Amino acid sequence: MDRGLGRFKYQKSLQYGFWDWEFMTVLDKHPEKNLIRLQLSQNSVLKSLDAAAMADLERHLEISDLKKSEILLHQGDHQMEQYFVLDGILKRIVSSADAKEMILRFAIEKDIETSYAAWRLKTAAPYSIASVTKARVARMPLKKWAEFLDAHKPLKESFEFEVMRLMSEIMAHTITLHMLDAPGRVERFLRKYEDLFELLPKKELAAYLNLSPETLSRLKTKHKELFV
């Protein structure tokens, strides 16, 4: 549905389990376009783009403001998009047949989120992407993003390196869950993601570390030296 400034899209809420309308605005028509352009220029992947390339990219971007627990990508989807996080926190999650969930990673301001590997392999998305907090993202279809990358080879190289780095990070986290005890998992997270610790809801952090919120709270009390 085109409303001049943008368009509406159905979006399912993880928290409430219903479908509602999400409004997406094209960047050039957004009332905060100057702030968003600044945020895009600081993105971990896009910061190397010159002004002409960034202007070309902006033509394909739409801006979405997300409520807490909204799903951007459903596990099993074939229609995929590229996301640039402007504000808030996203999570990548995988669900089992009995509805158990595992959080693979978090993405914050300046990060990307993507299912690029699955799209290139022509397979369904192996995980979901959802908002942890209220969030704002710039988004575009992965087909358009891939075409843009093909026209900007240095960017493609740095983007694909970032995708591999994220995959390696997720593998290391998965190994950590099996190899380290609870205090060790918390210590590793604090060492690698100290700033994120203060931003994350503790329920989400506990789930990421495969702990109950109560266990995380007990660890915080018992091992105060970890949280200094």
Q: Per CATH, which fold does 6-152 belong to?
A: Jelly Rolls (2.60.120)
**Residue 140: per-residue pLDDT:** 97
Neighbours of 178 (CB within 10 A): 7
Q: How far apart are the two ends of the chain, measured CA to CA in Å?
A: 51
**Residue 3: per-residue pLDDT:** 37
Banded pLDDT at 228 (limits 50, 70, 90): low
Extents of the domains making up the chain: 6-152, 180-227
Has residue 166 got a pLDDT over 70?
yes
Has residue 23 got a pLDDT over 80?
no
Has residue 122 got a pLDDT over 60?
yes
Instruction: Output 83 or 100, whichever has higher pLDDT.
Output: 83
Instruction: Output 218 or 64, whichever has higher pLDDT.
Output: 64
Has residue 11 got a pLDDT over 60?
no
Has residue 223 got a pLDDT over 90?
no
**Residue 227: per-residue pLDDT:** 58
Q: Which long-range contacts (CB under 8 A, 24 or more apart) does 209-217 make?
A: 209/177, 209/182, 209/185, 210/102, 210/177, 210/185, 211/182, 211/185, 211/186, 215/182, 216/186
Please say whether the beta carbons of 144 and 151 come within 8 A.
Answer: no
Has residue 165 got a pLDDT over 70?
yes
Has residue 198 got a pLDDT over 90?
no
**Residue 4: per-residue pLDDT:** 39
Has residue 72 got a pLDDT over 90?
yes
Banded pLDDT at 134 (limits 50, 70, 90): very high
**CA nearest to 23, candidates 81, 60, 58, 65:** 65
Has residue 189 got a pLDDT over 60?
yes
Has residue 120 got a pLDDT over 90?
yes
Question: What mean pLDDT comes out for the span 12-38?
Answer: 71
Q: How far apart are CA 209 and CA 190, in angstroms?
A: 11
Please say whether the beta carbons of 25 and 86 come within 8 A.
Answer: no
- The pTM assigned to this predicted structure is 0.88
Region of poorest pLDDT, from 26-35, 76-85, 104-113 = 26-35
Give the containing element (helix H, strand E) for 51: helix 51-58
User: CA torsion, points 8, 12, 17, 21, in degrees to nearest 10?
Assistant: -10
**Residue 195: per-residue pLDDT:** 86
Banded pLDDT at 13 (limits 50, 70, 90): very low
